[in-house]
Amino acid sequence: MRVPYSWLLEVLRVGAPEFTATAADIEETLIRIGHEVEEVVIPGR
């Protein structure tokens, strides 16, 4: 499933408005909890 970083941050901030994380932080966390991450695409790079 493709998920925009901005949308994912919005969802994560629902319970913690001050929450901030890089795309790499989120990727590491998803892998740590058992999700497969095939790739992270950063537009413009």
**Mind listing the pLDDT tens digit for each residue in 2-45?**
888 889 889 989 989 998 889 899 999 999 999 999 998 877 76
pLDDT reported for residue 45: 66
Domain that holds residue 12: 1-45
Compute the distance between CA of residue 15 and CA of residue 37 in angstroms, rounded to an integer: 24
pLDDT reported for residue 44: 76
Largest Cα–Cα separation, the chain: 31
Compute the distance between CA of residue 26 and CA of residue 5 in angstroms, rounded to an integer: 9
Compute the distance between CA of residue 36 and CA of residue 43 in angstroms, rounded to an integer: 21
pLDDT reported for residue 42: 78
pLDDT reported for residue 37: 93
The total domain count for the chain is 1
pLDDT reported for residue 27: 92
